[in-house]
Amino acid sequence: MLPTARLQQYAAAALGEGAGLWLRHAQASVRAAAAILDLELEPPHPGAGRSLVVPARTPRGDRVAVRVDLPGNLHLPEVTAIGDAGVGPRVVHADQAAGLSVVQWLPGKHPNPSSLGASAAVGRTLSRLRATPAPSGARPVQDVIGHFLDVAVQRARRAGLEDLPRLLAADVERSVELAHVDVLAHGDLTAGNVLLHEGRAWLIDADPYAGPIERDLATWILRVEDGQRLAAHAAAALRALTDVDVELLEWLVAVAARTFVAYRASLHRDVPAAAAAVALDHTARARLGLT
């Protein structure tokens, strides 16, 4: 049950010298859960990067995922609520102290983020998620955005993007002013965290918090490669996800674009055209033409 190289790198970056100890703990926790539930373990999932994810089968033949998150990264009440809402995997066993959860294995494949059909399916799922109250004690969106702002500013300065910190600060300030409705949000809504099956979008690998559903939608539509189609993807999602605050959505698209560009630039990677066009536009919020 060897952790993937990607997980080893992530753990080393997050935990430093404690990474080896945590990796051993994670493997021991998986084995303990397998013994309790009589699971047949499979090799670790190759796509997992921020947690140890081991597919397994129950005695009845049902497939599940045994997952161990880095310290402090398992938000169990929120993850449980996402599963209970029918938009993500249902939790069948958990050990909060160990950072371990066992969840149902969902069918489907990661969608092409340029597909308007995928955006429509995501909109339908977000509509169901928005009806789910955030559990008591869930992280507020202000804390989440504040953390991302600090990290993005550091990355932007390292990459020599001198205007980005000022623009980001203005984006975040206005977004927080507009964000009045807090529901349970996924927190990392990219194509890699969505499974599309028979026209339905399932949400996995959540980093949940209490905040506006507009932030999830902003993260999703930003990843479209063709900047001219941002509005089309937003409109596809909004066919099911009604009563969205369009002004807030446009500000949050700008926040997502600038943080994403800072991240890519700090790694010397190419930046998708859509994100670059929004991030480097000094007129502040993204103009999606939805009003």
| CATH number, domain with residue 88 | 3.30.200
Query: Are residues 247 and 122 part of one domain?
Result: yes
Mean pLDDT of 255-264: 82
Query: Are residues 100 and 120 part of one domain?
Result: no
Q: Which of 122-131, 162-171, 206-215 has the lowest mean pLDDT?
A: 162-171
Tens digit of each residue's pLDDT (9 = 90 or more) over 50-77: 899 999 999 999 999 999 999 989 999 9
What pLDDT band is residue 287 in, cutting at 50, 70 and 90?
A: low
Domain-terminating residue out of 76, 104, 132: 104
Domain-terminating residue out of 104, 136, 163: 104
Query: Are residues 149 and 242 part of one domain?
Result: yes
What pLDDT band is residue 228 in, cutting at 50, 70 and 90?
A: low
227 is a domain residue: yes
Query: Are residues 64 and 127 part of one domain?
Result: no
Cα distances from 190 to residues 74, 100, 132, 170, 178, in angstroms, run 19, 23, 20, 24, 23
CA nearest neighbour of 249 among 207, 291, 209, 210: 291
Report the mean per-residue pLDDT for the chain: 87
Distance CA(108)–CA(10), nearest Å, equals: 26
The whole-model pTM stands at 0.89
Percent of the chain surpassing pLDDT 70: 90
89 is a domain residue: yes
Query: Are residues 228 and 127 part of one domain?
Result: yes
Percent of the chain surpassing pLDDT 90: 50
- How many structural domains are present in the chain? 2
63 is a domain residue: yes
Query: Are residues 99 and 125 part of one domain?
Result: no
Q: Which of 29-38, 128-137, 143-152, 190-199 has the lowest mean pLDDT?
A: 143-152
What pLDDT band is residue 167 in, cutting at 50, 70 and 90?
A: confident
Distance CA(149)–CA(154), nearest Å, equals: 9
Query: Are residues 224 and 272 part of one domain?
Result: yes
What pLDDT band is residue 289 in, cutting at 50, 70 and 90?
A: low
Range of the domain at 181: 116-288
Higher per-residue confidence, 32 vs 46: 32
111 is a domain residue: no
pLDDT at residue number 147: 78
Query: Are residues 37 and 75 part of one domain?
Result: yes
Query: Are residues 267 and 173 part of one domain?
Result: yes
Distance CA(1)–CA(44), nearest Å, equals: 6
CATH number at residue 209: 3.90.1200.10
Distance CA(233)–CA(291), nearest Å, equals: 15
Domain-terminating residue out of 77, 104, 131: 104
